[in-house]
Amino acid sequence: MPLPALLFEVFTLFPEVFEPYLQSSILQRAHQRGLVEINLYNIRDWTSDRHHITDDEPYGGGGGMVMKPEPIFAAVEGVLGWPPACPVILLTPQGRTFTQSVARELAFGDDTSVPDQTRRLALLCGRYEGVDERVRQHLASDQISIGDYVLTGGELAALVVIDATARWIPGVLGDPDGVLDDSHASGLLEYPHYTRPAEFRGWSVPEILLSGDHGRIARWRREQSLLRTWQRRPDLLETAPLSKLDRKFLDQLKTSFISDEPEGSSEATGSDEPAQPPGTS
């Protein structure tokens, strides 16, 4: 079997949480093809006391329990050596926000010129109220949050990171261009998709998609992406790479909104969806 492109070393108190998802998704196929490998380690196996204790009360008092540093350091050191042989990512609500571009950065690292090399990443899942601060300071080389909310542990966050990162590896998705078309890959939300039947309960597929005119279809899709992004996530337009044509289309959208036509203008959008100002749809 060739070396996997991506190897995750996951440190957790709940390895059983990962298995059902990893065995029933595209990730399982990626594993069978030798593209992505995931090793699960139970931090409890590195405790040295009779009761296998992994948490303790916080110094200074207060509620909740804190994960002890010794088993975490021992587990990571036992698997990755010291200093750790690869980046160690702590999943925590205090980390940098996980986005599609962070997923891509994790998949390819700084070194996109050596595609044959395995990229190894360690994911460290916290539990309870948190982990001893010395783990954050002296063991983690990166900290990632999957959003501004608090989960009961880092396991779901680690699965999110594994899934979104693995999708970037060539061969993981059936369609090699799939990841490039995704929402967020271009900095915009994705255009709408339709499949057969052409009419369902009286709702028709937009005529243009049946036209066979690939140039017009590509432009329509681009405009739909721009429209949706303007309606739902206008913040993304500030950083998305936009062509002159894109900017012209967005200007038209804004003008049609300012002119305040009764149903919004579907002229600029060529869409059934009325043009809505940002934040109202």
Compute the least distance from the CB of residue 135 to ligand ADE, in Å.
Answer: 13
Residue with Cβ nearer ligand ADE (159 or 185): 159
Residues near 65 by Cβ (< 8 Å), separated by ≥ 6?
A: 55, 56, 57, 58, 128, 129
Compute the least distance from the CB of residue 18 to ligand ADE, in Å.
Answer: 15
Residue 65: closest CA among 150, 149, 132: 132
Compute the least distance from the CB of residue 67 to ligand ADE, in Å.
Answer: 12
Q: Amino acid identity, residue 123?
A: L
Q: Which sequence positions are flagged as catalytic?
A: 93, 129, 167, 182
Q: In this structure, are residues 39 and 69 in contact, taking their beta carbons and an 8 Å threshold?
A: no
- Would you tell me which residues interact with ligand ADE (CB under 6 A)? 91-93, 126, 145-147, 149-151, 154, 157
Residue with Cβ nearer ligand ADE (113 or 152): 152
Tokens 């090399």 belong to: 117
Residue with Cβ nearer ligand ADE (4 or 126): 126
Residue nearest to ligand ADE (CB): 157
Residues near 67 by Cβ (< 8 Å), separated by ≥ 6?
A: 43, 54, 55, 126, 127, 128, 130, 131, 132, 135
Instruction: Give whole-number Cα distances, 39 to 7, 18, 35, 145, 274, in Å.
Output: 8, 10, 13, 21, 49
Compute the least distance from the CB of residue 93 to ligand ADE, in Å.
Answer: 4
Which ranges in 45-128 belong to alpha helices (H)?
69-80, 100-108
Residue 281: closest CA among 260, 262, 264, 256: 264
Kindly report the number of other CB atoms within 10 A of residue 84's CB atom. 17
Residue with Cβ nearer ligand ADE (103 or 157): 157
Compute the least distance from the CB of residue 210 to ligand ADE, in Å.
Answer: 43
Residue with Cβ nearer ligand ADE (112 or 152): 152
